[in-house]
Structure 1
Amino acid sequence: MPKKTVTPFRVLMVTGIYPTDEKPHAGTFVKSQVDSLIEAGLEVDVLHPRVGIPSPLRYASALFQIWRAALSGRYNVINGQYGLWCVICRLQWGIPVVAAYLGDDILGTVTAQGGHSFKGNFVAMLSRQLCYWVEAVIVKSEQMKRRARGPQQKIYVIPDGVNFSQFHPVPRSEIRAELGWDQNKYYVLFSNNPKIPVKNYALAKAAVDRVCDKGVDIELVVATGLPHEMVVKYMNASNALILSSHAEGSPNVVREAMACNVPVVSTDVGDVRDVIGHTKGCTVCTPNNVEEMAAGIEVALAHTERTTGRADTQHLDGKVIAQRIIDVYEKATGLKIPRNTTAAEIPVKETAYAQE
């Protein structure tokens, strides 16, 4: 009897950010999700319009590709990443759309003055309205779900997964020797772009300076624009990760540090409290409170052994998160998706407008 052929479930992932040779750090969380879905047995094509061309042309090129995809009948679902890209995905009705929101596309973009930008508010308004018009919505935190609109039963809280194979504990002394860091100094890692107002670098610096004023030999290390393999080294070499943001959806760096068993000191934003709140050595602080953040750094420095962060966040493994996303795809399409437990190797490819 001939063996029955299983038709793979095909996804078109539409995103404005994705790792490239020029920017290997951009959209690494999207690539991790794509890799996890492929490992689970899905076929995923990535539509990443060419970087460096005017925004209207990027959106127009994406729309053309999406229309072509809708006419081809190849895809079972389109998964948009971030507000405006999700809007572009919905400008066709031939394929179900899953809109994945990242944070400020629902919550609004915080400015250097602490308010919200007009553009950010406009994008957030569009994103919230779009919730009515797509088959399913994925948000990163309960806070985002409360701000979203439309039927709550089709809005799912699913944070980004962590690649536990890539982010894992490595002896601190070993990595410091490789990086040339002082073995006897304290290092606190700020793994964000300090020029982005919402990341509130000033708070992180003020808190580290406050600890330094007490005679502690400590340095704030800024790591931005680095590929993942280097971020892992910086995390394992540091005594703590600091997140000082005004607002977040579900910050990836926090979960990555937890996977490395590195203490985290963070403002109470997004889902941070749920992720680190029960792990010894980690501290959740009131936003914009220098004293609390400085005290949290001291707690982290006093926690000389590795944390239990990796064990505490097993539910955030990328493989687990991929299965939750597949559940959403099934609800959005009404299809039963075959799952591959042997992790078949299906190469990811980018479409015609992808960055070379």
Structure 2
Amino acid sequence: MAAIAQSGVEVRIFFLSSRTSLRTLARESRRFRSAVREFEPDIVHAHYGTVTALFAAATTTCPLVVSFRGSDINPTSDTSYIRSLFARLFSQIAAVRAQHIICVSEEIRSRIWLPVRPSSIIFDGVNLSSFYPISRDEARSKLGWSKTKKFIFFNLSGRPSGKRLSLAESAVDYVRREISDVELVAVSKVDPERIPLIMNACDCLLLTSDWEGSPTVVKEAMACELPVISVDVGDVRMLLDGVSPSRIVPAEVAAIGSALVDVLCMEVRSNGAERAKIMSEATTTSRLLGVYQLVMSQANHHYEAQTQRQEA
């Protein structure tokens, strides 16, 4: 949304202080309605499904855009089955109310039960001014890392249980049969500004998640020319099309471990930076502005038609 604001759109951010307390949500609904009356937005954009989108759908009559990101539509191992089921049900209800739906991948869009609204595939773009390739040795010098050890980047933030850390650790143990000096760098609660440096210092990215929408970490790795080994999840297969070296493997220890050994022994960077250019934040911003313009045009057309009927 910062990029949207920089494009000239007036933006106001509203954060829910809770998504689980009914008492707090009732209080938040009053605060949200007050904010809407004051700001008078042309569009309300909910950047997640579940309670977030349902809250927006229930508390405003403004044209609504909802972005579905993955765990709001997909089953997830991070919460209980019942909680996950209700979260997905709330997402589906909000989708019916929305004027436009944005999904981060085709897989997510295919999970909408009643695809009655216009929809677009727009994944999170990468800030290419932050994520770009630099020398691995230079990055390691800045971090104080060994220049001979093999480092595997693993994104643990967000929803740790869904990342399947134990599977990744078992795969790395498998790698140690061939490469003894290797370390899994499980990244969590790290200053975001350090992520590009850590990526450039690593030898590959490993992704073992049970569910994903369109994992931004893969695009960021591509922008840094970091080779990627991933299970077939979300839209990773599409993202890595033509990117070498990269591997899509079954969610099995031996398959992941063998792919890691193969890529680590190559000791080369990927050609992902070239493909990452089409996944930039600027491209995403442009497409999102197009959605806003379409929704506003439809809202104006509806208002004019309604006015004509009333006058008749």
TM-score (normalised: structure 1):
0.78
2:193 alignment partner in structure 1 = 229
Matched, 1:98 2:62: no
Secondary structure of 1:283's counterpart equals strand
- Relative contact order (C-alpha < 8 Å, sep 6+): which is higher? 1
2:297 alignment partner in structure 1 = 334
Alpha-carbon deviation of 1:106? 0.6
User: Contact 1:158 / 1:325 at 8 angstroms: preserved in 2?
Assistant: yes
Give distance in 2, aligned partners of 1:161 and 1:80. Answer: 17
User: Contact 1:102 / 1:249 at 8 angstroms: preserved in 2?
Assistant: yes
Root mean square deviation, CA, Å:
2.2
Secondary structure of 2:58's counterpart equals coil
Alpha-carbon deviation of 1:325? 1.0
Secondary structure of 1:105's counterpart equals coil
Paired residue total: 298
1:299 alignment partner in structure 2 = 262
Query: 4+ residue stretches of structure 1 with deviation over 4 A?
Result: none
Q: 1:58 to 1:175 in 2, by over 3 A?
A: farther
Secondary structure of 2:62's counterpart equals coil
Matched, 1:67 2:24: no
Mapping for residues 115-154 of structure 1, pairs under 5 Å: 117-151=81-115, 154=118
Give distance in 2, aligned partners of 1:58 and 1:45. Answer: 21
What runs of 5+ residues in structure 2 fail to find an aligned partner?
300-312
2:123 alignment partner in structure 1 = 159
2:243 alignment partner in structure 1 = 279
Q: 1:73 to 1:150 in 2, by over 3 A?
A: farther
Give distance in 2, aligned partners of 1:166 and 1:58. Answer: 37
Secondary structure of 2:11's counterpart equals strand
Give, as a single letter, the amino acid of the residue that structure 2 aligns with 1:177. S
Alpha-carbon deviation of 1:237? 0.6
Q: 1:277 to 1:203 in 2, by over 3 A?
A: farther
1:320 alignment partner in structure 2 = 283
Q: 1:58 to 1:155 in 2, by over 3 A?
A: farther
Give distance in 2, aligned partners of 1:215 and 1:239. Answer: 13
Give distance in 2, aligned partners of 1:85 and 1:273. Answer: 29
Give, as a single letter, the amino acid of the residue that structure 1 aligns with 2:215. P
User: Contact 1:190 / 1:223 at 8 angstroms: preserved in 2?
Assistant: yes
Q: Which has the larger radius of gyration?
A: 2
Question: How high is the sequence identity, in percent, across the aligned residues?
Answer: 28
Q: 1:65 to 1:334 in 2, by over 3 A?
A: farther
Secondary structure of 1:325's counterpart equals helix
Q: 1:211 to 1:328 in 2, by over 3 A?
A: same
Mapping for residues 10-29 of structure 1, pairs under 5 Å: none
Alpha-carbon deviation of 1:195? 7.2
Alpha-carbon deviation of 1:259? 0.9
